[in-house]
């Protein structure tokens, strides 16, 4: 998929008429975030008509297109719509982070890529691949973040685990969370 195709999809979602050259900056910003978050080196795009092969179409649709949509909607000051697309982008980032070894080709895996944190679902604590595990605090609950079933958060100094996928439901809501013991 090339940027021209990505923007055509984004225009269909946003009911806008952006040109591929206008959205190239948005696409490269999303790629830069993936690189920083995952410690990889996906190449930036220079030509809107060249197929982007560093990510397959699934990940392009999970990350790059939602970010293009978000940026288009921010450009026309449609904040509520922009936030909806940004949440989809964040969910895509979370998914690619969870599946990065399959999603990112070895040639793009940068220094530190293999030292990513992964949840140990038996203990509910974070571990490091390889040698030993550093101390790592479970993140404070964020009402705007999407949490998959099995995600851990702290809230009012209590650790919770999600029992259903959720966004915006406080950890005290027993439909979505339980106290981790």
pLDDT band of residue 106 (cuts 50, 70, 90) is: confident
Distance in angstroms (rounded) separating the CA atoms of residues 7 and 26: 10
Q: pLDDT digits over 119-155, tens only?
A: 444 444 444 433 333 334 578 898 888 888 788 888 9
Domain boundary among 108, 133, 148: 108
Q: Is 65 found in the same domain as 87?
A: yes
Q: pLDDT digits over 19-37, tens only?
A: 999 999 999 999 999 998 8
Domain boundary among 55, 90, 108: 108
| Number of C-beta neighbours around residue 145 at 10 A | 16
Is residue 115 within 8 Å of residue 129, measured between CB atoms? yes
Domain boundary among 60, 82, 108: 108
Return the ∠ at Cα 80 (arms to 56 and 15), rounded to 5°: 60
Domain hosting 170: range is 116-181
CATH number, position 137: 2.10.10.20
Q: Is 74 found in the same domain as 149?
A: no
Q: Is 73 found in the same domain as 21?
A: yes
| Number of C-beta neighbours around residue 61 at 10 A | 16
Return the ∠ at Cα 87 (arms to 73 and 135), rounded to 5°: 140
Q: Is 156 found in the same domain as 95?
A: no
Task: Indicate the number of domains in the chain.
Answer: 2
Q: Could you tell me whether strands 152-155 and 117-120 are parallel, antiparallel, or unpaired per DSSP bridges?
A: unpaired
Question: Given phi > 0 = left and psi -120 to 50 = alpha, else beta, which region is 78?
Answer: beta
């Amino acid at each position: 998929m090339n940027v021209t195709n990505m923007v055509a999809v984004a225009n269909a979602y946003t009911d806008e008429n952006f040109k591929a050259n206008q959205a190239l900056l948005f696409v490269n910003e999303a790629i830069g975030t993936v690189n920083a978050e995952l410690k990889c080196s996906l190449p930036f795009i220079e030509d809107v008509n060249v197929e982007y092969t560093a990510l397959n179409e699934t990940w392009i649709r999970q990350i790059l297109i939602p970010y293009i949509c978000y940026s288009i909607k921010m450009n026309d000051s449609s904040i509520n719509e922009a936030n909806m697309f940004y949440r989809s982008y964040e969910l895509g980032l979370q998914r690619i982070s969870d599946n990065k070894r399959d999603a990112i080709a070895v040639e793009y895996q940068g220094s530190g890529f293999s030292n990513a944190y992964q949840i140990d679902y038996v203990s509910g604590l974070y571990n490091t691949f390889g040698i030993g595990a550093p101390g790592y605090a479970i993140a404070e609950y964020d009402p705007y973040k999407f949490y998959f079933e099995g995600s851990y958060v702290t809230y009012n100094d209590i650790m919770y685990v999600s029992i259903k996928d959720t966004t915006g439901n406080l950890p005290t809501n027993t439909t979505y969370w339980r106290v981790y013991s």
